[in-house]
A and B are shown apart, each in its own frame.
Chain A
Amino acid sequence: MRRTLLLSGLALLMVTHCGYAQNLPFDMSPERPAQEMPPAIPDQPSDGSDDAGAAQNASVTAPAQNFRRFVLPGGDLSLSGEIAERAWSIYLTPEQAASAATFNIGYQNSILVAPEASRLSVSINDVALSEENLSSAEGMAEFNLTVPKGLLKPGANLVRLRASQRHRTDCSVQSTYELWSNISAEKTYLDFDGSRAGIFNGIDDIRAAGVDEKGLTQFNLVVPAMERPAATVPLMRLAQGLAVLANMPSQSVTIEAAAPEQARPGHMTVLVGTAGELKPMLPELPAEAANGPIAVFVNDARSGAPVLVVSGPSWEAVASAIESIVAPTDAGPNSRRDVIATQRWHAPDAPFLFSSTDIRFSQLGVKTENFSGRRFRTEFNLAVPSDFYANAYGEAVLLLDAAYAQTVLPGSHIDIYINGNIASTVPISTPGGGILRHLPINVTLRHFQPGVNTVAIEAILNTDEDQACVPGTAASQTPRFALFDTSEFHMPDFAQIAQVPNLSAVAGTGFPYSRARTPVPVFVDRIDSDTLSASATFLARIATSAGHPIPIETVASPSLIGNRNAIFIGALSQMPSAVFTQLNIAATNQTVWGGGESAAGDDLETREAFDEWRGKLRGGAWNGQVTAIEDWMKRNFDISLSSLRLTPADEVSFSPAKDTSLILAQGASPEENGTWTVLAGRTGKELRDGALALTARENWSRITGHVASYRPDAKAIDTVAATRVELVSTQPPSFANYRLIAANWLSSNILSYALLLAGLTVILGLATALLLSNLGRRG
C-alpha cells in the first residue's frame, strides 16, 4: 500500500509539473504555447506576437500606478463544509509575471467556525503562500501576501484556496453545513507593482482579459459602422474568437457605436472599423491601419488603458485583421478535444470521455487526503459529448481506494453526487476500521449531461467521540478517513446519438453547431446594438462551449434556411411566427408572452414547501415503518405512472409565463433533420440583458431540455424537459452503439421493453412448439 501511495504521489507530481510547465491553455489551437515566449524583460517592448502579418507590435504604457487584477472567476467564492478547496488558473502576461506582486485576500467566515482549528491556505503554482486562521466572523478581513519573485509564470498560474474548518461547539454532521467562509471577489486581487503589468503587447494577451470585481469578463466592441449588414458576420466571428481565447466562465460581448468612458478591470475594449471610422475616436491609431489590416493593442490616452484595435483601410481589411486574431482558434476539420478547458474557473481541465475510459483520481486533480472531521467532500469534473445518450440505463463505476479508522462506526456512508444529485450510496458496514481497495461503486449516469459534469464524493463519518462531543473533539487532528488518489473512475462505453431538442447539448458543447462544416445560418431580426450584443454574447458562449468559433452566415428569412441547423435571435415581435410553430411554442400574441399565468417555478417551489412540511410532520412508529418502505421503494425504483409508458408522450405546447423576459428554445426543423434554436426576448433590451444573464456560468449549466426561460425578477432559469425527442445519428453505424441506444430508449420507455420482451417471447414459444413438433419423435 505504502509503495503504491509513494508511486502515485510521484505520478501526481509529474502530472502537475508537466501541466504547468507546458502551460497549455488551449488544446486545439495550433498556436505556440505561451511558455515559448521569452521571459518578459521590461526593456523589450514587444515579444514578437506576430500571429498575422498585419499585426503590429505597438507596446503601450499604462498610467504609472499599481495594476490590479481581480482573481475570482464568477464572483464571491464560498468555501463551505469542513474541507473545501478551489483551484483555478489565471493567465498572466509576461509583464505581469515579471512584476513584483502582492496577493490580497478578503474574506468573512461564519461565526460558528472555530478560529483556532480552522485555516485558510493559499497557494500559487502549488507553492504555499500562507495559512491563516479563519477568525473573521464579525466583518470582512483582509490579508496581504507577497508573492515570491519568480513564482508567477507567463501564461497560466494555478491559484488554490483551501479552507479547513471546524465547528466551535458541535460535533454533528449536520453542524458542518453551518461552516462557511466567503471569499470576497472585490477584495481578492493581485496587485502588480508599477505600470508595466497593465501593458498588453500581443494578441496572446487577450487571454489575460481577466475579470472585474464581480467575476465577470466583458468585451466591449466599439464599432462605429455596426449597422453595416456586411459587418455582422465578421463581428460575430471576432466576438467568438475573443471569447474562445479568454475562455473565462462568464463572458459577455457588447457592441456599441461609441467607446466606453472608463477602462475597467475585466473589461476589454476592442475598436473595430476602418481607419477612417476609428480615427475620430482614437487619435493614437497607428498609421499602418490606413495601409493594411492590423490587430494591435494601443494605449488609449483617454481611458488610460490598452484597447485592442482591429482595423484596416477597408472592411475587407478589417475582416482579415479579425481573421488574424480568430483563425488560430479554429478547430481542425477532424479534431477532437481531449479535455474541455475549465481551468479558468476549475482546474484541472475536465477530461472528455468518448468511450470506455479509466481515469485515476490523480489525473482528475484529486489528491490523496487524510481527513479528521466528520464530513469529507471532494469533487472533480468530467465531460461527456453532446450525443451522450445513457441517462436512462447507464452506470459508471467508481473504484474507490479509501481507508477508515477504527473509530468510524457502521452506519457511516460514502455518497456520490453527480451535478449535485445523489447517484450512489455505499454504507460503511464493517466496524473496526478498514481499507477499501478498488471498491466498485456503481454510479448512475442519469444526471450526466453533455459538456462538463461535476462528480462529488462525500463521506459521512459517525463516531462515538462525536456523539459524546467533549470539548476539543471537533478540532481533533486524528485522521478518520483517507481517500487515495489511486482511486479510479471507470466510464463504460455509452450510447451515442444526438437528441433534438436538447438544449444541454448546445450549452455543454455547442452541439450541433460545433460540428458545422459550412456556415450556420443565423437569423438576426434587426441590426442594432441590443440585438447584436445579445447575438454576440450568445454565439460567443456557444463557441466557448464548442472550444472553437462557429462559422456563421446571416439569413434574412427563415425560408432560406431550409432544413439546416440554424439559430434565430431577436425580439419577440420580430420573430417569424413559423419558427415558434415549428418549435411548438404558443406565441398567441407576439408582443407579450402567452397566457401562462404562473411560472413553472412557482409550482415547483410550492411543491417543495409542501413536501418539506409533509416531511416535518411525519412521525409515529407505525407511520414511520410504512414511510420507510415507501421511501425504500421510491429510492430503489422511482417508478411513477408517467414512467410507465410505451412511447414518449405528445409534447404539450409551451407558453411562457408573463414575467419571463427571454426564452431559449430548441426543436427540429420542418423536415426533422436540422436543429433550430431560438433566442427570443420580449424586447430588444430584455433580449440583451437576458442573454447576459443566461450565459453566465451558473445559469448556462442549468440549461437543458426543450425550453429554458429567464425570469429577471427572480433571476431564475426555468426549463421544460423535452417529451418528444428526435434521435439524430452522429456516429458511424455500429452494432454496439445501436444496442446501447436501444437499451437507453427502452429504459426510458419502460412498458415497451416489457411488451417487446413478452411479444418476442410468445413468438419464440410458438416457434419452439413448431420446432418440437418437427424434431424428435412425435406422439
Chain B
Amino acid sequence: MRKAGIILFWAFMSFCVILLITLPINLQTQLIASLVIVTAMAIIKILRAEGKWRLIALAFGTAVVLRYVYWRTTSTLPPVNQLENFIPGFMLYLAEMYSVMMLALSLFVVSMPLPSRAASEDYFPTVDVFVPTYNEEAGLLANTLAAAKGMDYPADKFTVWLLDDGGTLQKRTSTNLLEDQAARARHQELKALCHDLGVNYLTRDRNEHAKAGNLNNGMKHSTGELIAVFDADHAPAQDFLLETVGYFEDDPKLFLVQTPHFFLNPDPVERNLRTFERMPSENEMFYGIIQRGLDKWNASFFCGSAAVLRRHALDETGGFAGLSITEDCETAIQLHANGWNSVYVDKPLIAGLQPATFASFIGQRSRWAQGMMQIMRFRFPLLKRGLSIPQRLCYMSSIMFWLFPFPRAIFLFAPLCYLFLDLQIFTASGGEFLAYTLAYMLVNLMMQNYLYGAFRWPWISELYEYVQTVHLLPAVISAIINPRKPSFKVTAKDESVLVSRLSEISRPFFVIFGVLLLALVVTIYRVYAEPYKADVTLVVGGWNLLNLVLAGCALGVVSERGEKTATRRVKVSRRCEFGLEGKWYPATIEDVSVYGARVNVFVQKIPHLAVDTRGEIRFTPYSGDGEPEILPVAIRNNTVSGDIITVGCRYLPEVARHHSLVADLIFANSKQWTDFQLSRRGNPGLLRGTLWFFGLAFYQTSRGLAYLFKGTGARLEAAREGNRS
C-alpha cells in the first residue's frame, strides 16, 4: 500500500515535471532556466553531496536533457521536403535519441548502486572449479590451476577441473596432420601437468557449442553443488570461495555470485597511452558501478569467469546456454527469467590478462558486440517472459550499449555534411544552440562525471567508443543481418609487442583523421569566406574539432609501443630470503610477474652475478602449512645501490609445487589488487580531466603521425634496398 502510494506520488511528480518541460517557452526563459539548473547541479557536484542530493542532481540533469529532447524533436528537424537534409538530419536525430535513451537506461541502472553485503560464513558445500581452455599454453594454465588449487577451502569439498577443448578426440584425430600432432602433444602435456598439480583433466569427443558445450561437459562429469568458473588466464585469489559461497546459503534461489575481472596487464589503449598506472581501467566502470547498479535490480549477470553458479539452477535450464557467442549473459537471462537471483560482490578476487594488441582487443570486442546482438535477436529481453520490469530494462541497457558504433559513426560524419556539402541537417540558430545544445552537453558531461567520475575520466568513454567503432560497425551490422553467422573465437591474450609499430588494422584511423583535418581547414576557410554564417560554421567546426581530437588520440592508440617485459609486474613487498651459492641473504620481493620477480637483497660484500646465475627465493606461502618453501630462479640483471642489490630474476619452475609458489606470490593476496585499483581511482573533475585529455590527445596525435612517417620511411627504404639488390 505504502509502496503503491510512493509510486503514485513519484509518477505524479514526474508528470508535473514533464508538463513543465514540454511547455513551449521562449529562448530567454530556456537560457535562464538552463543557467539556474546547471549552476545548481554544479554546486551539488562541487560539494560532493551524496545520497538524496545525488538523485536531486540527477533529476536536474534529466530536466535539462528532457528540455533538449523536447526542443530537438519539435523545432530542429529539417523539413521533410528537403530530403537531402532530412535523411541525414533524421539519422543524427535518431543517434541523439539513442544516446538519450541509453542515458535514461543507465540512470535507471545506476541510480542507487548497491554496496556489497556480508555473506554467511561457515558454509562449505561441494564446489567444482572449472577452468575451460582451448589453446592457452601450459605455463599459463599451470599458474591458474595452481592458484585455483591453492584456494582457501576445505580440500575435500572442492575439485579443480581443467576442461580442455584443445585436446579433444576430434582434434586429436584431425585430418590435418599438424593440428592432430599439436593436439596430441597438448593432451599429454596437460594431462601430466594436471596430475602433478592434483587437478582433474577432462576433455571430450567433439568441440560442440564452444565454451558453453565444454562447461556443460564438465557438469556431466562432476557432481559438486556449486560450480566456479575461471577463464584459463584468470587466477583466483586464496579467499575467492570464502568470499562468494556464503551467499548461496542465504538465498536458496540464488544462481550466481559474480565478482569483478581484474587485469594485471593494460589493454592496448592503456598501454599505448601509458595510463594503466594512473587512470582507472575501462572495465572498472562496469564492475565498479554498473554491476552494482544491476545488483540493485537483481540483474547482475554472468561474465563468463570469476563467478560461482548453482548446479541445480543450471540443470533447470539445461546447463550453459550456447545459442549466442556470449554464452555468459545468455545463461544469466535464462536463469533470471526462471526466477533465479544473482548477487554481485564488488571485490576483485581473480587476476587475469587482457588482449595486449589492438587487433586482438578489437577481436574480443567484436565477439561481445556480436554476441549481444544475437541475444537481442534470439532472447529479446524487453519482452522476455519471467523477467521483472527492472531486469528487462537492465538487460536492454547492457545489450543496446553495443549499438554504439552507429551513433558514434553518425556523430563523426554529421559535421562533415555541413562543412563539405553545406547541408543543413540541424536547424537551429546560434542562440538556440547556446541555450539548448550547450546546456545539454554540459549537463551530459556533468552527469557522466557525477555517476562515473572516479571510474571513468572525461572523454575516455568517447575515445574507447571511437576506437572500437571503426572496426565494430561492420561486425555489428553483419551480426544484425546474419545473426547465426558469428562463431566463438577465443581471444588471444598472451601476445606481446616487442617492437614499436603501427597496428595492422590502423589504416582507417589515419584516413579518418585526414578527412577530419581537411574539414578543419574548410572550417577556417569558411569562417573567413562566409562571415554571414560564421556562427553556425564555428559551432559545427567546433564539433568537428572535438571529433578531430578524438581521432588524433586514437592515432596514439593504434601505434603500438614496443615493450621489453612481456607481462605487467605487480607490487607485492613481501619478506623473503635470497639464496645464492648456498648462502641465505635477507631480502624483500618488490614486485612479481607471471614470469619473474624483482628482489631487493641486503648484501654487505657484493659478489659478481653473471646472467643466468642460479638463485633461490625462500618465503612462506599463504597456502602452505606455515613452513618456508624454496622457489628456484635465474638471475637476469642486477643493480647495486649501497648495501642493497636489486636482482631481477626469472622463475625456473621444476615441479608442480613451484607453480603453486609462483601463483601464491602473484595471486594469493586479493587485497593487493584492491589497493592497486584504489591507487589509480580518483576523479580529476570535468575541467581538469578535459584539459588533461586534450593534452594527451595532442601528444598522441603527434606520436601516431611519427609512427606513420617512420613506418612509411622504413618501407620506402626497404623498397629501395630491394631495387638495388
Contacts and interface: CB of A to CB of B under 8 A. Distances in A.
B and A form one assembly = yes
B525 interface: no
Given A754-B37, A757-B33, A770-B6, A747 B26 contact: yes
A743 B297 contact: no
A438 B295 CA distance: 53
B57 A765 contact: yes
B15 to A, nearest CB: 10
B60 A750 contact: no
B115 interface: yes
Given A754-B36, A756-B20, A776 B58 contact: no
Contacts of A754: 29, 32-33, 35-37
A755 B3 CA distance: 29
B296 interface: yes
B181 interface: no
A8 B123 CA distance: 87
A393 B24 contact: yes
Interface stretch (B313-321, B491-499, B528-536, B654-662): B528-536
A562 B35 CA distance: 47
Interface string B25-44: 11111011101110010000
B390 interface: yes
Contacts of A558: none
A427 B32 contact: no
Interface stretch (A89-97, A451-459, A539-547, A637-645): A637-645
Contacts of A763: 13
B36 A762 contact: no
Contacts of A632: 430-431, 535
B687 interface: no
A757 B7 contact: no
A757 B20 contact: yes
Interface string A733-775: 0000001101100110011011111101111111111111111
B56 interface: yes
A427 B81 contact: no
Interface core residue of B26, B27, B530 (most chain A CB under 10 Å): B26
Nearest to A756: B20
A767 B427 CA distance: 36
Could you say which interface size class chain A belongs to?
A: 35 or more
Nearest to B60: A761
Nearest to B58: A765
A765 B26 contact: no
Contacts of B28: 637-639, 643, 747, 750
Nearest to A749: B29
Contacts of A772: 55, 111-112, 296
Interface core residue of B21, B33, B60 (most chain A CB under 10 Å): B33
A761 B56 contact: yes
A779 B31 contact: no
B59 A427 contact: no
B35 to A, nearest CB: 8
Contacts of A75: none
B421 to A, nearest CB: 11
B25 A747 contact: yes
A775 B56 CA distance: 18
A746 B29 contact: yes
A636 B63 contact: no
B81 A768 contact: no
Interface core residue of B23, B36, B422 (most chain A CB under 10 Å): B23
A359 interface: no
A772 B29 CA distance: 32
A778 B296 CA distance: 7
Interface core residue of A413, A429, A757, A776 (most chain B CB under 10 Å): A757
A430 interface: yes
Contact of B55 (A437, A756, A769, A776): A769
B10 A392 contact: no
B10 A770 contact: yes
Contacts of A427: 532-533
B114 interface: yes
B298 A636 contact: no
A414 to B, nearest CB: 13
A439 interface: yes
A779 B115 contact: yes
Nearest to A762: B56
A767 B8 CA distance: 10
A437 B82 contact: yes
B54 to A, nearest CB: 8
B327 to A, nearest CB: 26
B120 interface: no
Contacts of B60: 758, 761, 765
B220 to A, nearest CB: 34
Nearest to B433: A636
A643 B25 CA distance: 14
Nearest to A494: B24
A740 B19 CA distance: 11
B17 interface: yes
A760 B16 contact: yes
A440 B85 CA distance: 13
A618 interface: no
Interface string A574-606: 000000000000000000000000000000000
A410 interface: yes
B32 A751 contact: yes
Nearest to A751: B32
Nearest to A768: B55
A433 interface: no
Contact of A760 (B13, B27, B31, B32): B13
Contacts of B709: none
B24 A740 contact: yes
A777 B20 contact: no
A765 B52 contact: yes
A757 B63 contact: yes
Contact of B81 (A395, A438, A770, A778): A438
A442 interface: yes
B296 A777 contact: yes
B26 A393 contact: yes
B174 interface: no
A765 B58 CA distance: 7
A9 interface: no
A38 to B, nearest CB: 51
Contacts of A395: 24
Contacts of B390: 775-776
Nearest to A431: B530
Interface string B58-85: 1110110000000000010001011000
Interface in A610-647: 632, 635-639, 643-644
Nearest to A741: B23
A760 B296 CA distance: 26
Given A636-B431, A750-B28, A770-B10, A411 B532 contact: yes
A643 B23 CA distance: 19
A758 B296 contact: no
A765 B32 contact: no
Nearest to A444: B26
Given A427-B532, A430-B422, A753-B33, A771 B23 contact: no
Contacts of B57: 765
Nearest to A752: B29
A429 B55 contact: no
Contacts of A777: 114, 295-298
B429 A776 contact: no
B20 A442 contact: no
Contact of A442 (B35, B56, B75, B296): B75
Given A643-B28, A769-B51, A777-B296, 5 more contacts: A437-B81, A637-B435, A754-B29, A761-B63, A777-B297
21 contacts: A393-B25, A427-B533, A635-B431, A637-B28, A746-B23, A747-B28, A747-B29, A753-B20, A753-B23, A753-B33, A757-B20, A757-B21, A761-B37, A765-B55, A766-B56, A767-B13, A769-B51, A769-B56, A773-B112, A774-B3, A776-B112
Give 10 closest A-B pairs by Cβ, nearest first: A636-B431, A765-B56, A765-B59, A754-B36, A743-B23, A754-B33, A747-B26, A767-B10, A411-B532, A764-B13
